[in-house]
Structure 1
Amino acid sequence: MSVDRLLPGAGSEELVALISEIAHEQLAPRASAAEAAENFPRDEFRLLGRAGMYGLPYPERWGGLDQPYEVYLQALEEVAAAWMSVGVGVSVHVMTCLALVRHATPQQQDRFLPEMLGGELLGAYALSEPQAGSDVASITSRAKRTDSGYELHGQKAWISHAGHADYYLSFIRTGEDRNHGVSCFLVPAGIGGLSFGEPERKMGLTASTTGAVYFDGVAVGDDRLIGAEGDGLTIALGALDSGRLGIAAAATGLAQAALDLASEYAEQRVQFGRTIGEFEGLQFLLADMAAAVGSARACYLLAARRRDAGKPFSRDAAIAKLTATDAAMKVTTDAVQVLGGYGYTRDFPAERYLREAKATQIFEGTNQVQRLVIARELLRD
């Protein structure tokens, strides 16, 4: 079913409708086969970029469409409902763009953002390390100052698009201070000393390549430093608030896809002389699924509207990420139950939805970390 959306204006409605059309006509038919074959969807990312997806929330100066963040998130939900791996990848790429929009020099913005927003370049967000996941201040990769810039050494882990991205927004230690000794670098793919590990063998999101990134004397100039030296964690954590909203929207889209599948199946499957959707017990299950999807959507939209209004939204983003991803896990599990034995087979996408939902409770900060963020904000008030 199509979602009945409330958008700021006719222009926003047309943009979301365009992305929805692309998602359901170009992405959805390819998703199952690509996930099974673990084929990275580079052409699909380029298609969405050229359609304006990445530039939705960013200024027209660099080819953006200057839309509210809530419009971008609702378009992202449509993408994720069609193909979750692509939805997650869009969220990651748009998060890398945000760092430049907020912290790069005007020269860097004019140089890099047009191709980033236009889909010609695909980005990766290289923050996590083997021993620095939730505790990002524990980053140990290092940048050594040289006459012409920096020399990067170290390893990043669990990086989406590793080996496929055109650039890696990388957070590398330049000083000893735990919280102010990390800097942000825009590292181009193909540069000497940059290499990648074997892709992780994941239970879901198998078309979205995740792997290690290695820096072995990677030389970058001063023009690749984003923001001031030592501002890396501020840049990273600021972008993560918006990135969490991206994951919340993607998780909501995934849950909506599972709800649609379960509802359609309930209207067609006949048992004991009537469709299973006519049984009250299953109706209640579907109603609970719909309530979970609606709650998730309301949470991320509230947070997005606070962001658009220039209000603090860190706690709201954490609530949205927690609520939406837990909802995705519940709704996809229930979708498998509605389909019964068929839900456990790969003849239907329900089992894939379930496998994909689990990852959303882990990346962009585990849901336990979201609870810490929410509690600290409450106790600080």
Structure 2
Amino acid sequence: MNTLLTAEQQELARSVAAVGKKHYEDMAIEWDATSTHLPNSERKRLADLGYLGVAISPRWGGGGGELMDALVIIEELAKCSSLPAFQVFEANTGPARVVELFGTDEQRARYLPEIIAGEATMAISISEPDAGSAASDLRTEGVRDGDTLVINGQKRWCSGAGVAEYYLVYVRLSGHRGARGIGGVIVPRDTAGLTFGPQEQLMGFHGIPSADMFFDDVRVPMANVVVPASGFGKLMGAFSIERLGNATMSLALAQAALDRTASYVVERRQFGQPIIEFQSVQNTLADMIMRVEAARLLIWRAATSTNGITPDPQQVSIAKCFANETARTVSAQAVELHGGYGYHRDYHVERYARDAMGWAIAGGTPTMQRTRIASGYLRRSFRQYRADG
């Protein structure tokens, strides 16, 4: 598989894997058990290694690498722990990338160097109580008042809420219904009128912050608008990059589950022999291997399908859907092959299974991706709303 990477990317993967094992693998269980957020010192370590800006232009302090470089780093870190990988994910495939692609030079100069240096994180805020998969139903509203935008509304399921220093918030910037009125604006954490709900207690994603956000006459400069009304298509195009980061997080969980299971079934003995000698175990392991290999190929194909700005959304949906389901299936198979030990925290695989469910939900569920895939293949849209909706 690594022959599909350049020699430089193969070396990058090896060096990142070494960092992950040295600094993060042993901490993963503790961070998960205590829901500890990644310490700022570790965020700074990632910055010093060049990971947080690897795919951002050197003009803003980044490494000027390819999207594939970022995905390589995300995968290798996430095999050890989701927390450092999530920082790289946000900086290279998340909202910071939207700022680089569509922001003004003033916005790029203001926010990107901070993020790349590990001094700040930018989170994305899209979902609302009544707008999840139907993102274009969002109600949070931004109304212009001179040179200021006044924001009112509520956001839900914001990964990073309360901890990230900045938020790229999807808001309704005009009176148009649906996607036409939606744009994106940067809101700093300490802005007056912005408050956060309690941290969510989730099945997985322990240590990755998640909370509601409440906007009560929140005022930000109009200069903070990254994408104006009618720019929803741009936001969703950039979101294809985020979905590839999501798919890679799933891939990493599946690969880690496979690696641990392969070692376990060779060492574990029952009925007088290693359990790998049983054909049912061999067949399950083979299925795990095939799924992981296929998921990686689909992600890498999508990552190189760019039109010069963003990847082909059809290829991204295929990759995300398959990778999400691969992580769920392979991690469940890992738990099963570990037997009772698979249900024990110290063996890691139960954490993979919990986190795999979260990545499948985040960024558009497999069910929604299937609708997108069918729509793209047939080159027709499917009406999701009721006739009277």
- The whole-number CA distance in structure 2 between the counterparts of 1:125 and 1:267 is 43
| CA deviation profile, 1:16-65 (whole Å, cap 9, x unmatched) | 33322222211111111011001111333332233211212221111111
Correspondences of 1:269-284 after superposition (within 5 Å): 269-284=268-283
Q: Name the residue aligned to 2:27.
A: 30
SS of 1:205 mapped into structure 2: coil
Q: Does 1:343 align with 2:342?
A: yes
- The whole-number CA distance in structure 2 between the counterparts of 1:345 and 1:164 is 30
TM-superposed deviation, 1:13:
3.4
Q: Name the residue aligned to 1:87.
A: 85
| CA deviation profile, 1:155-176 (whole Å, cap 9, x unmatched) | 1100001110010011111112
TM-score between the two structures when normalised by the length of structure 1 = 0.94
TM-score between the two structures when normalised by the length of structure 2 = 0.92
Task: Pick closer, same or farther for the CA change 1:196–1:132 going to 2, 3 Å.
Answer: same
SS of 2:361 mapped into structure 1: coil
Q: Does 1:102 align with 2:101?
A: yes
Task: Pick closer, same or farther for the CA change 1:345–1:130 going to 2, 3 Å.
Answer: same
Give the gaps of 5 or more residues in structure 2. 381-389
- The whole-number CA distance in structure 2 between the counterparts of 1:236 and 1:42 is 30
- The whole-number CA distance in structure 2 between the counterparts of 1:86 and 1:25 is 13
Correspondences of 1:83-162 after superposition (within 5 Å): 83-94=81-92, 95-162=94-161
Q: Name the residue aligned to 1:49.
A: 47
SS of 1:119 mapped into structure 2: coil
Q: Indicate if the aligned counterparts of 1:184 and 1:231 stay in contact, CA closer than 8 A.
A: no
SS of 1:192 mapped into structure 2: coil
Greater displacement, 307-316 / 39-48 = 307-316
Supply the AA of the counterpart residue of 2:214. Y
Q: Indicate if the aligned counterparts of 1:329 and 1:358 stay in contact, CA closer than 8 A.
A: yes
- The whole-number CA distance in structure 2 between the counterparts of 1:72 and 1:325 is 19
- The whole-number CA distance in structure 2 between the counterparts of 1:93 and 1:312 is 17
Name the Cα RMSD after superposition: 1.8
- The whole-number CA distance in structure 1 between the counterparts of 2:332 and 2:26 is 23
2:65 alignment partner, one of 42, 46, 67: 67
Q: Name the residue aligned to 1:18.
A: 15
TM-superposed deviation, 1:202:
0.7
Q: Indicate if the aligned counterparts of 1:134 and 1:369 stay in contact, CA closer than 8 A.
A: yes
Supply the AA of the counterpart residue of 1:54. L
Q: Indicate if the aligned counterparts of 1:97 and 1:117 stay in contact, CA closer than 8 A.
A: no
- The whole-number CA distance in structure 2 between the counterparts of 1:103 and 1:210 is 26
Q: Indicate if the aligned counterparts of 1:89 and 1:208 stay in contact, CA closer than 8 A.
A: no
Give the gaps of 5 or more residues in structure 1. none
Q: Indicate if the aligned counterparts of 1:93 and 1:124 stay in contact, CA closer than 8 A.
A: no
Q: Indicate if the aligned counterparts of 2:183 and 2:230 stay in contact, CA closer than 8 A.
A: yes
Supply the AA of the counterpart residue of 1:63. G
- The whole-number CA distance in structure 2 between the counterparts of 1:377 and 1:64 is 34
Supply the AA of the counterpart residue of 1:38. S
Q: Indicate if the aligned counterparts of 2:82 and 2:249 stay in contact, CA closer than 8 A.
A: yes
Correspondences of 1:202-281 after superposition (within 5 Å): 202-227=202-227, 229-281=228-280
Task: Pick closer, same or farther for the CA change 1:16–1:308 going to 2, 3 Å.
Answer: farther
TM-superposed deviation, 1:131:
0.6
Q: Name the residue aligned to 1:301.
A: 300
Task: Pick closer, same or farther for the CA change 1:145–1:309 going to 2, 3 Å.
Answer: closer
Supply the AA of the counterpart residue of 1:34. W
| CA deviation profile, 1:82-125 (whole Å, cap 9, x unmatched) | 11244344323431111111111112212221112222111110
- The whole-number CA distance in structure 1 between the counterparts of 2:107 and 2:256 is 39
Task: Pick closer, same or farther for the CA change 1:87–1:312 going to 2, 3 Å.
Answer: closer
Task: Pick closer, same or farther for the CA change 1:219–1:312 going to 2, 3 Å.
Answer: closer
Q: Indicate if the aligned counterparts of 1:336 and 1:344 stay in contact, CA closer than 8 A.
A: yes
Task: Pick closer, same or farther for the CA change 1:106–1:309 going to 2, 3 Å.
Answer: closer
SS of 2:99 mapped into structure 1: helix
Q: Name the residue aligned to 1:181.
A: 181
- The whole-number CA distance in structure 2 between the counterparts of 1:34 and 1:290 is 28
- The whole-number CA distance in structure 2 between the counterparts of 1:256 and 1:76 is 13
Q: Report the number of matched residues.
A: 377
TM-superposed deviation, 1:5:
5.4
